[in-house]
A and B are shown apart, each in its own frame.
Chain A
Amino acid sequence: GAVVSQHPSWVICKSGTSVKIECRSLDFQATTMFWYRQFPKQSLMLMATSNEGSKATYEQGVEKDKFLINHASLTLSTLTVTSAHPEDSSFYICSASPPTGGLGYTFGSGTRLTVV
């Protein structure tokens, strides 16, 4: 079945540095990928919709200059948290639209980001 690989699964970084999170569709092409952020014991908050070859669509309140999204190919989308601050610490999850004929979205296993 459709598999989405998200890397890294966890990362600790210092304030002010940037962190890149990758989301890959391993056995299918994903024209659309989504990036979510989840706080402890809360739901997933949609941050942005990423379409291959075009600019990402950011949700209201999400700083596009801080959360840079690149979807340069049909199998890879990246989220870069720039100039990270402790309040950016969170669980980030990506998902990919299903391949043709598929049902349901496939989610990556998530990235736990801790900014110290």
Chain B
Amino acid sequence: SQQGEEDPQALSIQEGENATMNCSYKTSINNLQWYRQNSGRGLVHLILIRSNEREKHSGRLRVTLDTSKKSSSLLITASRAADTASYFCAPYNNNDMRFGAGTRLTVKP
């Protein structure tokens, strides 16, 4: 399946620090998407990186993709307390998109 697996499961940092989350998957993809979920809420799309892209930026977010290693990383720079949430990667291929367990990020003020 296209399920992504995030690492670490939980991450706790101080405000202002950078947070890096990793994602691995097992099959080929068209693209890989990162989502954020606040507790008990729906998911918010953060960024999409296509299979032919290696790096993408959006504001304080930086995503990398290594298709040879079937891995991706999400970097949040200059973190804020409001960034506290769960982050999920979703490898996507042919209308099939599944989520891993996510990384629970806690940013302490």
Q: Roughly how many angstroms separate A34 CA and B43 CA in the complex, as a whole number?
A: 13
B13-35: which have CB < 8 Å to A? 33, 35
Given contacts A103-B48, A104-B48, A46 and B42 within 8 Å (CB-CB): no
Q: Please classify the interface of chain A as helix (H, G, I), strand (E, B), loop, or mixed, using the class held by over half of its residues.
A: strand
Q: Please classify the interface of chain B as helix (H, G, I), strand (E, B), loop, or mixed, using the class held by over half of its residues.
A: strand
Segment of A64-72, A75-83, A105-113 in the binding face: A105-113
A29-59: which have CB < 8 Å to B? 32, 34, 36, 41-44, 46, 49
Residue B42 contacts which of A6, A41, A43 (CB distance < 8 angstroms)? A6
Q: Roughly how many angstroms separate A50 CA and B42 CA in the complex, as a whole number?
A: 18
Whether A43 and B102, one on each chain, are in contact in the complex, defined by CB atoms closer than 8 angstroms, is yes
Whether B42 and A107, one on each chain, are in contact in the complex, defined by CB atoms closer than 8 angstroms, is yes
Whether A104 and B95, one on each chain, are in contact in the complex, defined by CB atoms closer than 8 angstroms, is no
Whether B98 and A109, one on each chain, are in contact in the complex, defined by CB atoms closer than 8 angstroms, is no
B25-68: which have CB < 8 Å to A? 33, 35, 40-48
Select the residue from B43, B44, B99 with max chain A CB neighbours within 10 A: B43
Please name the 7 residue pairs, one residue from A and one from B, whose CB atoms are nearest each other, closest first. A104-B45, A107-B43, A109-B42, A107-B42, A43-B101, A44-B99, A103-B48
Can you list 18 A-B contacts (CB < 8 A)? A32-B95, A36-B99, A43-B99, A44-B88, A44-B98, A44-B99, A46-B97, A46-B99, A49-B95, A93-B43, A97-B95, A103-B48, A104-B46, A104-B48, A107-B43, A107-B44, A107-B45, A110-B41
> A46-B99, A104-B48 are known contacts; what are 12 more A-B pairs with Cβ within 8 Å?
A6-B42, A43-B101, A43-B102, A44-B88, A93-B42, A103-B45, A104-B33, A104-B47, A107-B43, A107-B44, A107-B45, A110-B40
